[in-house]
Amino acid sequence: MHCIHAGAASPGPSPRPSQDPSQGPSSQGPSLTASPSAASEAAQGAVEPIVRMHKAGVVHAKSGRRIVSEISFELPPGRCLGLVGESGSGKTLLCRALLGLLPRGLRAEGQIRFDGVDMIHASPEAARRLRGQGMGFILQHPMTAFDPLYTLGSQLAETLQEKLDLPPGDAAAKVQASLSRLGLPERVMASYPHQLSGGQLQRCMIALALALKTRLLVADEPTTALDAQNQLEALTLFRRLKEAGTTLIFVSHDLGAVQMLADSLIVMRRGLAVEQGEAARVFNEPRHPYTQYLVATRLALTRGFRQALGGRHA
């Protein structure tokens, strides 16, 4: 088999679609059909959080050294949580702990639940079943999600055959319909990964999540490897997914991208959540020195860009 493993990449032939501030106290396009208003239901307290973490962390199994510590949050359906922070702050490891995809030698601790399932103690098979229709993973480098020896259509269709128990013809038709919803031409089905751009490959991963009706989409630095035009298109697409009812965890060091999508925000540094809360409050009234530094840097870059363009653009 050469199917994509529900958005998670693995090596081998079988793919799986500055100045340092001081420490402080913790503190129009493709059409997507809207699902029932998960966000409004969550706001009314009608549904349980789809993700719940309590004092979650990641530990080196042999040494016991904590790499990520004491992360707690609840994420209601239909909302977007932004995870921001410098490289090595623990953002990706936290997401991999949720997905059951921690590298060998690391283990999760605390409480990590997806849709009521204890992901720390779930068996590898149970976690694998949840990845796909339950949780999807959008990688920073889309090329690593696909096998270079097979066409995109065959890989995506085989994943649907496995996850949804569809016959080959129905799976291929479902893939084509999902790709079309994202504005991808029919030739993508017969294309190999190296024949498509990074933005097109990323849309293929999102198309798989749409076809599987993934409830939670974890996007790990999804715009970093894209050019400016593809970044904007990707962010617009993620926003439409959210508006259609998909729950998002959006990992990025780009505050502008996070600000466009996130309802709530966790700022991470050296494995800790130094600040968290509603995104509007964190962006407008940052309390921790590191968050203040990130926001100030973002504003300075924006001002410099405007000045370079003669003030013609916002």
Question: Does a structural domain hold residue 169?
Answer: yes
Task: Spell out the alpha helix ranges (H) of 182-221.
Answer: 198-212
pLDDT for position 210? 83
Question: Does a structural domain hold residue 81?
Answer: yes
Which residues, including other chains, have CB under 8 Å from residue 201's CB and lie 6 or more apart?
Answer: 142, 143, 145, 146, 152, 193
Question: Does a structural domain hold residue 190?
Answer: yes
Q: Which of 9, 14, 13, 10 is nearest to 162 (CA)?
A: 14
Tens of pLDDT, residues 30-55: 444 444 344 444 444 467 899 999 99
- Measured CA to CA, the distance from residue 290 to residue 288 in angstroms comes to 5
Q: Any idea which residue has 């890989």 for tokens? A: 155
Question: Does a structural domain hold residue 48?
Answer: no
Question: Does a structural domain hold residue 41?
Answer: no
Which structural domain range is residue 191 located in?
73-308
Tens-binned pLDDT, residue by residue, of the chain (314 aa): 444 444 333 333 333 334 444 444 444 444 444 443 444 444 444 678 999 999 999 999 899 899 999 999 999 999 999 999 988 899 999 999 999 999 999 999 999 999 999 999 988 888 888 887 789 888 777 777 888 999 999 999 999 998 888 999 999 999 999 898 888 888 999 999 999 988 888 888 888 888 888 899 999 888 776 777 777 888 888 888 888 888 999 998 888 888 889 999 999 999 999 999 999 999 999 999 999 998 888 766 555 444 544 554 44
Question: Does a structural domain hold residue 214?
Answer: yes
Question: Does a structural domain hold residue 60?
Answer: no
Q: How many structural domains does the chain have?
A: 1
Tens of pLDDT, residues 117-152: 999 998 888 888 888 778 988 877 777 788 899 999
> Quick check: 100 and 131 in contact, CB under 8 A?
yes
pLDDT for position 46? 60
CATH number for position 186:
3.40.50.300
Question: Does a structural domain hold residue 145?
Answer: yes
Full-model pTM: 0.77
